[in-house]
Chains A and B, each alone.
Chain A
Amino acid sequence: MMMVHTMNRESPDKGLDSGKYVRYTPEQVEALERVYTECPKPSSLRRQQLIRECPILSNIEPKQIKVWFQNRRCREKQRKEAARLQTVNRKLNAMNKLLMEENDRLQKQVSHLVYENGHMKHQLHTASGTTTDNSCESVVVSGQQHQQQNPNPQHLQRDANNPAGLLSIAEEALAEFLSKATGTAVDWVQMIGMKPGPDSIGIVAISRNCSGIAARACGLVSLEPMKVAEILKDRPSWLRDCRCVDTLSVIPAGNGGTIELIYTQMYAPTTLAAARDFWTLRYSTCLEDGSYVVCERSLTSATGGPTGPPSSSFVRAEMRPSGFLIRPCEGGGSILHIVDHVDLDAWSVPEVMRPLYESSKILAQKMTVAALRHVRQIAQETSGEVQYGGGRQPAVLRTFSQRLCRGFNDAVNGFVDDGWTPMGSDGAEDITVMINLSPGKFGGAQYGNSFLPSFGSGVLCAKASMLLQNVPPAVLIRFLREHRSEWADYGVDAYAAASLRASPFAVPCARAGGFPSNQVILPLAQTVEHEESLEVVRLEGHAYSPEDMGLARDMYLLQLCSGVDENVVGGCAQLVFAPIDESFADDAPLLPSGFRVIPLEHKSTPNGATANRTLDLASALEGSTRQAGEADPNGCNFRSVITIAFQFTFDNHSRDSVASMARQYVRSIVGSIQRVALAIAPRPGSSISPISVPTSPEALTLVRWISRSYSLHTGADLFGSDSQTSGDRLLHQLWNHTDAILCCSLKTNASPVFTFANQTGLDMLETTLVALQDIMLDKTLNESGRKALCSEFPKIMQQGYAHLPAGVCASSMGRMVSYEQATVWKVLEDDESNHCLAFMFVNWSFV
């Protein structure tokens, strides 16, 4: 319907109405629309041309054409806006539905707990002593549910080697998975650091107190359920750490479902522990309510079923019922619930690495959230919302990312059946060098011949791992990426690039100080949630002397950077790059090198409100700039592990010189990283300069109470004659006191835990302020210490203090500590009420 200025001219082609509106014939509209698709805003010249060339339109005045196009553009905008509102509306509706479900579930949970509480209270207050069998049986354990249920004897008797047996395993797995996905079979805790907002619909939670580690996510994706299932079932496409997946058999189950027996191998994230593999049963089926579910669990001796393939270089891990549940929602989208629950056999890993294998958070990042993001990415690409980078389809760019990751993982792991063999060391054990003589490793068999023509040639990898203290992974990787010149050597980069072209090139010695070069980063693509970005790095070499002339040319690297998003706290970060030819062919061979930094959190670090109080003290005494409630990696005293791997080609003549160059290079990089780490660690060491300690009332108050109570009970000053009475100086005095001073909670029904310690106390217990609350007094004192405390306890309660004799206690790491004396006293608040117990361990030392 056109709004057009009143026309005076009559024309049969236009079908003039009673005056105001002019309608164009269908043919005219068709012609105009055709032009519109090519050119929505034609110039006046173009419009005139249009009228001349197109006979159907020749009777329309130029002004009318102009107006038509104006209106058409306006209509386009309106349509787009309406569609946008529709999409937002759908998303909000789905989110609403999700939230209401959760709300419903929580309400049920709360009312159930209220019922149980009431029931138990009632039991407690009934006449004591008359405990009958009935009341015992009705005691219900709620809350933390352990995955290790009493093994049901009927499992062992089931013949799980036939389809019926497998089906029953599958059905059980399904039930367990569902109870985790939408229920509370695992104690889920919302993961902090997830971006909130109406558009980013994804609720992620990690496990607390379940055996193994678990994470779950749910969100809305605008793809239809079957497509989502197809994407997720193809694990290697989204799970970067996945080396290979073999489906060994497929068995149909009732009503269109299938059961698959799958063997999966994963890459190890570091060089310090072996890779894991899984032998699982995967059950895909539709539920009565129309949702599609795929659940997977390991087949073990407990479940029964066929045994999987043997694997010598892998550690068999166990997948507990996990999977994904997809429900269709109006408008063609799906609501997706993902649960990952695994036991990675953390005990077979060196103690220092154990936190990595016990971290639900890292599991969430690498698997659960990665899966959700991948599906979202595909959804956005399908709907055309993602821009093409560098003129390429997103899928092609994604292939680059996958190949870079895979190549890096391959180098870090160095599997024998990939062709890797170790090369002898030069005496020092810090760098591992491996060589691979099989051609075609890095792009597929088709490159083998052109890439490495000569016999005895191959690829060499030099790798190393390092532990870092107090260095947040994201910060380090960001630094390495932005300041390449701080660690890279242009000569080495030039060698790598030249060998890509299989042109002869002298092997450089990695020079200290390197060769000056600039880098220019040209972004190629970023994932929708910006957790990963693919870019091209152009290295411009400058020749400062005649002999360097040959080296001064531009080189290109394809680089993948992930985990540096500021919004996600404490995850893994990675920088992987490979030299690439200027032509950037889609199938260009890639030999990646790079860095991976993984945080090593302690499992016991409290993640929620319970940590707040300690954190207040922490921020008071250590001057950190954390927000309250954030977990460890942005605070002090945490560790991370960095894995470095560099790959180079060599031919049969240059093998040894390449090996020595690689060793030297990686060694110098290790040195650079140590230097960088020192510079960027928020608090090098744990010493505190007295001037820079800000204070919070809570810390000052507590310290005042401690000191005052001591004087009150014992009649002596805590710090001798020059004891301060209050304020900052008292805080410093206590903090820096040579004896360990610790405070312990006085709860009647819970085991006492430490709530505060001075620096010496933290050193003695080998812990941090944040992890302090996980340390129980019972575990620290040895038996005679506990006995002494118990016998002196009434005295402490009455007169306020007591001295315990010399003894031995244990730090949180299990080290023995001997002390000459332990003074214990009640800490009173200002109103004389009991606050906590204070301990002072005099003259302590490690045994």
Chain B
Amino acid sequence: MERLNSKLYLQNCYIIKENERLRKKAQILNQENQQLLFELKQKLSNGSSNQGNNNNNNLSSSSSSASGH
């Protein structure tokens, strides 16, 4: 039983580290995401100004949730 507990404890520690790593990764990805979004918006607005402002109204910022529950 003691061995099982120690094993579980170690596993938990491992998962905590893993979660931390994932969190950091998510943060970096999020930042990248924002940047890409910004670039995309720029590109789209440049593109549309070439095309005579047809597409500006279609730039919807539909907010959908980032992940599951």
Contacts and interface: CB of A to CB of B under 8 A. Distances in A.
A113 B69 contact: no
Nearest to B39: A124
Given A113-B30, A182-B69, A749-B35, A106 B22 contact: yes
Interface stretch (A96-104, A377-385, A387-395, A825-833): A96-104
Interface of A: 82, 85-86, 88-89, 92-93, 95-96, 99-100, 102-103, 105-110, 112-114, 116-117, 120-121, 123-124, 128-131, 133, 135-137, 139-143, 145-146, 149, 178-179, 182-185, 190, 198, 749-750
Given A136-B59, A145-B66, 6 more contacts: A85-B2, A92-B12, A106-B19, A117-B36, A131-B43, A137-B60
Nearest to A185: B65
A142 B33 contact: yes
Interface-central residue, B19, B32, B62, by most chain A CB under 10 Å: B19
B9 A92 contact: yes
A683 B54 CA distance: 60
24 contacts: A85-B1, A89-B8, A92-B12, A95-B12, A99-B19, A100-B15, A105-B67, A105-B68, A109-B26, A109-B67, A110-B22, A113-B29, A116-B33, A120-B33, A120-B36, A124-B40, A133-B55, A139-B37, A139-B40, A141-B63, A178-B69, A179-B69, A183-B69, A749-B35
Given A107-B22, A131-B48, A141 B37 contact: yes
Contacts of A108: 67-68
A116 B33 CA distance: 8
Nearest to A123: B40
Given A109-B67, A145-B66, A103 B33 contact: no
B65 A183 contact: yes
A22 to B, nearest CB: 30
B66 A124 contact: no
Contacts of B32: 117
A95 B10 CA distance: 12
Contacts of B25: 110
Q: Which 8 A-B pairs have the closest CB atoms?
A: A109-B67, A113-B29, A106-B22, A92-B8, A136-B58, A99-B15, A120-B36, A183-B69
Nearest to B35: A749
Contacts of A88: 5
B18 A103 contact: yes
Contact of A103 (B1, B22, B34): B22
A106 B41 CA distance: 27
Interface of B: 1-2, 4-5, 8-9, 11-12, 15-16, 18-19, 22-23, 25-26, 29-30, 32-41, 43-44, 46-48, 50-51, 55, 58-69
A128 B38 CA distance: 15
A99 B11 CA distance: 10
Contacts of B35: 749-750
Residue from A105, A108, A131, A136 whose CB has the most chain B CB atoms within 10 Å: A131
A197 B54 CA distance: 58
A749 B1 contact: no
B26 A106 contact: yes
A99 B13 CA distance: 10
A129 B52 CA distance: 11
Given A131-B47, A184-B66, A124 B36 contact: yes
A131 B44 contact: yes
A141 B64 CA distance: 7
The prevalent SS among residues of A at the interface is helix
Contacts of B36: 117, 120-121, 124
A140 B18 contact: no
A569 B67 CA distance: 31
A696 B16 CA distance: 32
Contacts of B26: 106, 109-110, 113
Given A133-B58, A143-B66, A184-B65, A96 B12 contact: yes
A137 to B, nearest CB: 6
Contacts of A137: 58, 60, 62
Nearest to A82: B1
Interface of B is mostly: helix
A201 to B, nearest CB: 10
Given A106-B26, A110-B29, A142 B66 contact: yes
Contacts of B33: 113, 116-117, 120, 142-143
A96 B11 contact: yes
Contacts of B48: 131
Contacts of A145: 63, 65-66
B50 to A, nearest CB: 6
A141 B18 CA distance: 26
A179 B19 contact: no
Contacts of A131: 43-44, 47-48, 51, 55
A136 B44 contact: yes
A178 B16 CA distance: 23
A261 B16 CA distance: 40
Nearest to B2: A85
Contacts of A117: 29, 32-33, 36
A626 B4 CA distance: 39
Nearest to B59: A136
Contacts of B47: 128-131
A556 B65 CA distance: 58
B22 to A, nearest CB: 4
B69 to A, nearest CB: 4
Contacts of B1: 82, 85-86, 89
A656 B65 CA distance: 63
Contacts of A136: 44, 55, 58-60
A128 to B, nearest CB: 6
A239 B19 CA distance: 32
Contact of A96 (B15, B30, B39): B15
Given A103-B15, A113-B33, A117-B32, A89 B66 contact: no
Contact of A139 (B22, B30, B61): B61
A96 B63 contact: no
Nearest to A106: B22
Contacts of A178: 69
Contacts of B44: 131, 135-136
A139 B62 CA distance: 8
A128 B51 CA distance: 11
Nearest to A88: B5
Nearest to B41: A139
A28 B60 CA distance: 84
Indicate the member of B12, B16, B35, B38 with the most A CB atoms within 10 Å.
B12
Contacts of A190: 23
A96 B38 CA distance: 39
B11 A183 contact: no
B60 to A, nearest CB: 6
A107 B69 CA distance: 12
A430 to B, nearest CB: 47
A198 B7 CA distance: 12
Contacts of B61: 139, 141
A183 B16 CA distance: 17
A149 B50 CA distance: 33
A103 B12 CA distance: 11
Contacts of A143: 30, 33-34, 66
A355 to B, nearest CB: 25
B64 to A, nearest CB: 6
Name the residue among B2, B9, B33, B47 with the largest chain A CB count within 10 angstroms.
B33
Contacts of A106: 19, 22-23, 26
B12 A198 contact: yes
A63 to B, nearest CB: 34
Nearest to A747: B35
Contacts of B51: 129, 131
A124 B38 CA distance: 11
A135 B69 CA distance: 27
Contacts of B34: 143
